[in-house]
Structure 1
Amino acid sequence: MKYDLWQRLFTRFLETFHLKRFFARHNSFKELHQSSYAREVGQTLAVQLKTYSQLENQTLLNELSSHEEGLTEAQAYEQQLKFGLNEVAQEKPLRWWQHLWYCYRNPFNVLLSILALVAFLTDDLTGTVIISIMVLLSTFLRYWQESKSNKAADALKAMVTNTAMVLRREMGYQDLVLLQQRYGVHVKQLKNIQFEMPIQYLVPGDIILLSAGDMIPADCRILSAKDLFVSQAAMTGESMPVEKYAMQKNEDIHTPLELDNLLFMGTNIVSGTAKVVVIHTGIQSYFGALAHRVTATDRSVTSFQLGVNKVSWLLIRFMLIMAPIVLFINGFTKGDWAEAVLFALSVAVGLTPEMLPMIVTSTLAKGAVFLSRKKVIVKRLDAIQNFGAMDVLCTDKTGTLTQDKIFLSHHVDVHGRKSHTVLMQAFLNSYYQTGLKNLLDVAVLEAVDQDMKFEKLRFKKIDEVPFDFERRRMSVVVRTPQAQVRMITKGAVEEVIKVCSYVEIKGEIKELTAELCNEIEEITQNYNREGLRVVAVAYRDFKMTQENFSVHDESDLILTGYITFLDPPKESAQPAVKQLHAHGVTVKVLTGDNEFVTQKICHEIGIPNDKVLLGGKIETLSDAELKQAVEDYTIFAKLSPIHKERIVEQLKANGHVVGFLGDGINDAAAIRAADIGISVDSAVDIAKESADLILLEKSLMVLENGVIEGRRTFANMLKYIKMTASSNFGNVFSVLVASAFIPFLPMLPIHLLVQNLLYDVSQIAIPFDHVDDEQLEKPQRWQPSEVGRFMVIFGPISSIFDILTFCLMWFVFHANTPAQQSLFQSGWFVVGLLTQTLIVHMIRTRKIPFIQSCAATPLVAMTILISAIGIFLPMGPLAHYFKLQALPLSYFLYLPFILLAYMCVTQWVKRIYIRRYGWQ
């Protein structure tokens, strides 16, 4: 107890000062406590649910202070004060100022803000304004784009309002007014009323009526049910619905979801009707407990965030080393320390790629706009680059790879040969039964042609023996056109064979021997291995005088064949998987469904299916063993939510960038753990809350488009980083050489800032540039070492031509005294700006620029514009404002040769670099 108190106080302290996220990464003790607490809550809830399932109806109603005709409105109001609204804990949306801070905080923005402050304190207003504009544009652009996407996601959720049919036992006139005010419901009678109420107002003890198509709004215990089948796919991943009853049939159940008489929030009614009592709402529900575990867990740091931070710190460390060196060299050689400080500050600003946050944000925003046209809502801009870096996609099966609809695939005799007779008997059974028309019956009815539908008119129904859970079969009795009374039975293979004594083979009736049983078992198991669900069909003829039939008459049947069913893959699944594989993305299937069905689907769409790892086996594996297993297997079946999350975490630990596509509560934890969480608009709310992207169309083809756009986005960001890093390194290297040998500053602080600003403006068009197809073929990853190597190799190339320019200005144009320094500075200003601008085209592609690969029109136009401005500034009327002077016309005879030589040398070094290191 004492420990819990201190733990709560410590957690509150961390939350108050926004330190919780930091300590969560470094405090394994806290993580252990959270995980053990989650397990404890889950175990307690499971015990309580099992207890509720075992109580008699009246005992349970007494326990909940309820009545079979419902609560009174006064009781419901008291319960709501006690338990709160029936809402699942969701991730709280950030307030506007928190979101703005989230968009601002990154190493570069913080550094630029510090540089802007230093510039302001040293009266460098130009530098202050330039840097501040960069930071503000980057921050607000990202804030605007993410806010717009989040509003679109919220609008999707707001479109769906769920209600439940609730019973009320007694009403007063004040209650009627309250109903109208709270729920917008108008009723006239005062007793035993039924009305539709928004599900958030449900409370424990409420009696509600459910029917086919209803979403189950809370954890409920069944009081009565008729032919009730429930889809629990959102919770378990099982594609087939399960039957539920008013009484618990099997006492040896340990998992709450397997209890026969409990319904869970987040699942839905496929067919049948039920009267139920609410036992848990909101966060107390099984759904709520899972959702709370997801939202209480901090988001994992994604591949994109790690990559940007590493590259940022690489460049920052470089700046922190070079700027002081420039300061001391100029201070000691020139003797003017105040001027040296300003110059070093300008170098620091010039070294810092201040446009990086804005280029990254604008490139990501462009990607978000593109994906919105492809029916994808981008909730977090970082997710777009993660799309491009993704090399493993984990996806559920049902509805993503498959059509989420059962189809009849085979109708065969006992030896597996196609049989019209078997189909006709199965059709009569499905058509004439008056009980539940489940998905299998619907598939049979849809599979027959018009001739067979007309043929049924020749048969007349006499009786039926309904389906029940213990028998797992059902029978109808019809009068045939030959005036025979025939019972037609279909059901689970093993249950039907139990009541068969004979088998029909090619029209002959033979005794069902042990040898035939073995042969039948082998045939049906082969169908199971193909991922098909097998239903046996049998019949028996009776005397004309018998009119009433029962379970006892299901004996000595004649087995005639089988019908098989399949949830087939989507037409788009195979080409999408093929395209993802071609682009270096491995697709792994994580499902709670049967392994045979999953293997069959994977085989049809081109996913390796020879090995399957089951959830039960995962339970026995250590993290080290699972880390190896996730590399060896591509199919994981019969998984729990914890299994899925563990698999994603181990894939990330192996260095993969992992995407996860899912739509159920059982997927939410894994969606949150992945580098890129993907959900769909029809998903449960907690899955959409956890996701980075929401698909408006549940198709892998949409993902393939996203992967390409993510790689295009990353390639354009990397262009800017490489160009900026290499050119800045070259400039600083040139400054160091010039500072050591020239008796004046080679360039004034204002020249550095203006040159840097113009160069950065020219890069605004990079998000709209083309990307070579070769760069889109494989996943793109942040590699700080690659950026550092590129900077060190390509940066000095520009320094070579800077030094040539120094020599040109010094020896040819005699700008070799302090009195002539503005001429010297003007000459280097033009060459420096033009080489910086041209480098964009040299290293934007591994090919020969302008010949094999040409930049997009916006980038070419910006290059021409900035080059023209760079020449105009020293030559035009504004030169004296920037402390520049007009260059002699003969200077422009040398300029083309310098630029052409620079391009040729860069291309030559680039070819050597590609052969040795490759090209990212």
Structure 2
Amino acid sequence: MKFVSVLKKKVLSFFDNRFTNRRQFHGDANHLDEEYPVDLNQAPATITQNLITFSYLSNAEALLTLGSDLGGLTPYEVEYKLSQFGHNEIDKQEELSWYKHLWLSYKNPFNLLLTLLAIVSFFTDDMKGATVISSMVVISTILRFVQERRSNNAADKLKEMVSTTATVIRQEDDDEEDDEHIAELEKQIMASNPAQMENRVEVPIKNLVPGDVITLSAGDMIPADVRILTAKDLFISQAALTGESLPVEKFAAQSKENIKDVLELENIAYMGTNVVSGSALAVVLTTGKNTFFGSLADKVIAEDAAETSFQKGVNRVSWLLIYFMLIMSPIVFLINGISTHAWRDAALFSLSIAVGLTPEMLPMIVTSTLAKGAVFMSRRKVIVKRLDAIQNFGAMDILCTDKTGTLTQDKICLEKHTDIFGDDYDDVLEYAYLNSYYQTGLKNLLDVAVLERANFGDIPLLVKKYSKVDEVPFDFQRRRMSVVVADTTGGNLLICKGAVEEMLTCCTHAEHDGQVMPLTNELLNKLRSVTAELNADGLRVVAVAKKNYPEAKGNYSVNDEKEMILVGYVAFLDPPKETTQPAIEALNRLGIAVKILTGDNELVTAKVCREVGLDVEGLLLGSDIDNLSDGELTVIAKNTTVFAKLTPSHKERIVDILRASGHVVGFMGDGINDAPALRAADIGISVDTAVDIAKEAADIILLEKSLMVLEQGVEEGRKTFANMLKYIKMTASSNFGNAFSVLIASAFIPFLPMLPVQLLLQNLIYDISQTVIPFDNVDREFVMQPQRWDPVDLRRFMIFFGPISSLFDVLTFFVLWHFFGANSPDHQSLFQSGWFLEGLLTQTLIVHMIRTRKIPFLQSTAAWPILLMTTCAVALGIIIPMSSIAHMVGMQALPGSYFVFLVLAIAGYMILTQSLKGVYVRKYGWQ
């Protein structure tokens, strides 16, 4: 075997001299005259191409290309390859250190702006202002940091994706081998038996390297991307990658040509999948991040999550208010400086205006509201990994979800047992039961479904009437298996079940209503139309046939599977969950369109959709998506309900297209194939039983895989959004009105209309009263439609309602100036006290007007915390000017007659606001 050894040594020498890991192998002219461009350490696109390349090599060529042979690798080769390719591990996203997390909790436009204002206040000796502003920043930052830290700790920690060890063929030393032809190596491979291979050892999966020869058996997790060398009845579940609930068969050779989808390769098995039945010998192609699974995981971890709808909305609103503040503050500074010539006081006052125009409590309100939503969801066994995801629930208008395990039970069930014309027929179930019961091979999901369905009634008693004689095991060329049983008469009965077409080729007759008839071409066409209808219903059809042997014989073989009598079919389905239909109806009522993105068959998916009441308006296959431009896909995706036979990149592209169209997209999935789409969506939703990479990519993890939980999440998200929006609208409109009032007062009054400390105190009292907004009630109609941030609507609302308060502020100025004599610098404390109280009361009580589109207190009442805090704010505003601390903030007691005016002014303000609110709702609506 000198040829093999020499080639292996050349490969290792090549590794030593070429760090690009580009492999070019040449054997003798007759056998290795091709160049195989196999790069094992490249980008995802190259990874998939390499897998396709390997699938079309012969077994021997694949081994030699990897510098290996049937005897496995030597310790030196393993050590060298570990140094080149690293351990067989998937990199995971590192957890943020506490100080980085604290910085991210602090870093938002409002906090940065307020920090700047606090610094300016400090260097202008306004210690009171600096203290108040800094306190707001510290409280909001710490609250967000603590809540997110707790939420992250509550999420289940990711587990290792693959099993601990693998069975590997390893050589003990680097013995020289005799010269050997590739054809001889191929014969050696074909004659090998994985169960009898020598030098089998158990090694940690992380120590696998390309070229390692491994054995696989039922229940094993595939530890890396491998090329199948030999296979016996090998079934592999690829559900985590493709979404298909049924396992797929793998062979030692690739029969299909020009395969473009790497997941359709017949002789390649992928890391993260598992062996359902059978056994195999395989060679490791790629490990760790260079596997197909690794490329998906690496993409999920390496890419920054796309900016969500919530983040975009908050940023737009934040900058709108900041721009407004940057315009108003300099104007106030100039007007006051020119009119009073006290430029320092004017600077402090304009700085206070800047703080007053900035909703500094927004980070705290947002975090508190989101935290409340997270606590609410945790009580319903939902883990919120990222607080922003709560609001995105409410903004979501499209939910993309996988089919398997979400709409369905993720369990194969026997749906029908029929005669040859599709009518119910119990005898077929009896025959199928005997076949599944007596077979000795590993029972697949279909056999389990048959046994479970027949485990009721008298069918299990059949085993007492029959005894097993022999069986003809299943193989994937025949695609059928038979058992032979002896009945009480002494004769034998052969019962065969398998794929329809293969069964029809070995049947010469069919039975119906006890009558046996020949299988004519006309009857065959009719039978095919029956099975086609069953397939169109999304059912996987297995045919059942029998053959009587009046005289018993000892041994049976494949040759006996002929001239059989077709008796009917058993049809299987992954049935929908009972909760799916009401959940979809509830989501539709909430204005959310449900779209199915699955790797499964389109007929099966359409059938499930019909059963759960999901109208299929359009159906698109992954193969068709490849031929569409983004523009074309955008148009089609809008009216398509079902996307089937998708790859992970297809799912991600669809989510991106829908988001680019202006939709807020949620994606629910639990497989490796779902991870890129989970990351791309505005809100990624997974379950605790999902593969680790899906949980890593998700924003929310459900402890129960049910769409019903999503309905509660959507409603809570919309309540969260409603309460955040209340604060922003209230604060923005009242602050705009106050600033407008300040401009008017500054232009006509020869002193500051309010001292900086008074303005900050008023702002502080108001903000504290708003901290309970997260606990406010929300009108039912608000949660019935998706809600999202709209800076245009906020600007319009601010301009529409802000001047109303200015109107009553000007009225207050007029009354204080003309009726109470506050018309000179000597009486400015009376003026400032009067406007402080009127401004605080109108600003606080307007909360009840703006929190609902209905009539407050009559049609919609605030929650008791709001009522309590607004009452306290009003009481505090009245007490301060009357108390002994009034002189400390430049205020004085107000005359009793002023309160008469104050009550009338507030009543007029509320009546006018309610009237104009109706005008606003009719013209612009109410978000």
Q: Residue type of the partner of 2:147?
A: Q
**706, 709, 712: which is aligned to 1:705?**
712
Partner of 1:110: 112
Partner of 1:148: 150
> Which runs of structure 2 are paired with 1:17-416 in the superposition (5 Å)?
41-53=43-55, 64=66, 76-153=78-155, 155-158=156-159, 162-167=163-168, 192=199, 194-195=201-202, 198-248=204-254, 250=256, 253-416=259-422
Distance between the aligned counterparts of 1:901 and 1:797, measured in 2?
Answer: 10
Partner of 2:848: 841
Distance between the aligned counterparts of 2:360 and 2:250, measured in 1?
Answer: 62
Deviation, 1:844, is 0.6
**921, 924, 927: which is aligned to 1:914?**
921
Conservation of the 8 A alpha-carbon contact between 2:617 and 2:639: no
Q: Residue type of the partner of 2:515?
A: E
Conservation of the 8 A alpha-carbon contact between 1:245 and 1:260: yes
Q: Residue type of the partner of 2:47?
A: L
Conservation of the 8 A alpha-carbon contact between 1:69 and 1:167: no
Partner of 2:13: none
Distance between the aligned counterparts of 1:256 and 1:745, measured in 2?
Answer: 74
Deviation, 1:648, is 0.9
Q: Residue type of the partner of 2:167?
A: V
Structure 2 residue 854 is matched with structure 1 residue 852 = no
Distance between the aligned counterparts of 1:517 and 1:745, measured in 2?
Answer: 98
Conservation of the 8 A alpha-carbon contact between 2:162 and 2:221: no
Distance between the aligned counterparts of 2:45 and 2:889, measured in 1?
Answer: 73
**682, 695, 718: which is aligned to 1:675?**
682
Distance between the aligned counterparts of 2:897 and 2:44, measured in 1?
Answer: 83
| TM-score with structure 1 setting the length | 0.90
Deviation, 1:433, is 1.4
Deviation, 1:104, is 2.4
| 3-state secondary structure, aligned to 1:706 | helix
| Distance change in 2, residues 1:164/1:484 (3 Å) | same
| 3-state secondary structure, aligned to 1:157 | coil
1:386-410 Cα offsets, whole Å, 9 max, x none, are: 1110000000111111100011111
Q: Residue type of the partner of 2:342?
A: D
**762, 766, 769: which is aligned to 2:773?**
766
**748, 751, 762: which is aligned to 2:755?**
748
Q: Residue type of the partner of 2:553?
A: Q
Distance between the aligned counterparts of 2:306 and 2:881, measured in 1?
Answer: 51
**780, 800, 806: which is aligned to 2:787?**
780
Deviation, 1:875, is 0.7
Deviation, 1:610, is 4.8
Deviation, 1:89, is 3.2
Distance between the aligned counterparts of 2:94 and 2:535, measured in 1?
Answer: 45
Per mean C-alpha deviation after superposition, the further-off stretch among 687-696 and 640-649 is 687-696
| Distance change in 2, residues 1:101/1:673 (3 Å) | same
Partner of 1:828: 835
Distance between the aligned counterparts of 2:352 and 2:44, measured in 1?
Answer: 59
Q: Residue type of the partner of 1:802?
A: D
Deviation, 1:297, is 3.1
| Distance change in 2, residues 1:878/1:198 (3 Å) | farther
Conservation of the 8 A alpha-carbon contact between 1:729 and 1:795: yes
Per mean C-alpha deviation after superposition, the further-off stretch among 861-870 and 78-87 is 78-87
| Distance change in 2, residues 1:56/1:737 (3 Å) | closer
Conservation of the 8 A alpha-carbon contact between 2:410 and 2:574: yes
Per mean C-alpha deviation after superposition, the further-off stretch among 517-526 and 622-631 is 517-526
> Which runs of structure 2 are paired with 1:275-674 in the superposition (5 Å)?
275-448=281-454, 449-674=456-681
Partner of 1:177: none
Q: Residue type of the partner of 1:630?
A: A
Deviation, 1:700, is 1.0
| Distance change in 2, residues 1:338/1:284 (3 Å) | same
Distance between the aligned counterparts of 2:617 and 2:737, measured in 1?
Answer: 54
Distance between the aligned counterparts of 2:61 and 2:334, measured in 1?
Answer: 86
Conservation of the 8 A alpha-carbon contact between 1:837 and 1:867: yes
Q: Residue type of the partner of 1:164?
A: T
Distance between the aligned counterparts of 2:754 and 2:219, measured in 1?
Answer: 75
Conservation of the 8 A alpha-carbon contact between 2:161 and 2:691: no
Conservation of the 8 A alpha-carbon contact between 2:169 and 2:214: no
1:424-481 Cα offsets, whole Å, 9 max, x none, are: 1111111111223111110000111241111122112222222221221111122223
Distance between the aligned counterparts of 1:780 and 1:807, measured in 2?
Answer: 42
| 3-state secondary structure, aligned to 2:846 | helix
| TM-score with structure 2 setting the length | 0.89
Deviation, 1:291, is 2.4
| Distance change in 2, residues 1:470/1:410 (3 Å) | same
Partner of 1:812: 819
Distance between the aligned counterparts of 2:390 and 2:817, measured in 1?
Answer: 50
Deviation, 1:747, is 0.6
Distance between the aligned counterparts of 1:611 and 1:738, measured in 2?
Answer: 62
Deviation, 1:564, is 0.8
Deviation, 1:878, is 0.9
1:609-656 Cα offsets, whole Å, 9 max, x none, are: 253111111111111111100111111111111211111111111110
Conservation of the 8 A alpha-carbon contact between 1:389 and 1:780: yes
Distance between the aligned counterparts of 1:689 and 1:809, measured in 2?
Answer: 62
Distance between the aligned counterparts of 2:738 and 2:53, measured in 1?
Answer: 75
Deviation, 1:54, is 5.4
Distance between the aligned counterparts of 1:795 and 1:54, measured in 2?
Answer: 72
Structure 2 residue 727 is matched with structure 1 residue 720 = yes
**721, 734, 738: which is aligned to 1:731?**
738
Superposition RMSD on alpha carbons, in Å?
2.4
Q: Residue type of the partner of 2:386?
A: R
Aligned residues: 864
Q: Residue type of the partner of 1:781?
A: R
Deviation, 1:826, is 0.6
| Distance change in 2, residues 1:651/1:252 (3 Å) | closer
Deviation, 1:907, is 1.1
Distance between the aligned counterparts of 1:801 and 1:53, measured in 2?
Answer: 80
1:84-138 Cα offsets, whole Å, 9 max, x none, are: 2222233343333333332222222222222122212211111112222222222
Per mean C-alpha deviation after superposition, the further-off stretch among 742-751 and 585-594 is 742-751
1:241-299 Cα offsets, whole Å, 9 max, x none, are: 01223454556645433333332101112233444443321011121123223333332
Distance between the aligned counterparts of 1:206 and 1:879, measured in 2?
Answer: 84
1:509-550 Cα offsets, whole Å, 9 max, x none, are: 111122212211221111111111111111122351433222
Conservation of the 8 A alpha-carbon contact between 1:73 and 1:168: no
Distance between the aligned counterparts of 2:43 and 2:170, measured in 1?
Answer: 34
1:305-335 Cα offsets, whole Å, 9 max, x none, are: 1111111121112112211221122122222
Conservation of the 8 A alpha-carbon contact between 2:322 and 2:358: yes
Conservation of the 8 A alpha-carbon contact between 1:583 and 1:778: yes
Conservation of the 8 A alpha-carbon contact between 2:160 and 2:692: no
Conservation of the 8 A alpha-carbon contact between 1:204 and 1:278: yes
Distance between the aligned counterparts of 2:723 and 2:127, measured in 1?
Answer: 32
Distance between the aligned counterparts of 2:199 and 2:446, measured in 1?
Answer: 38
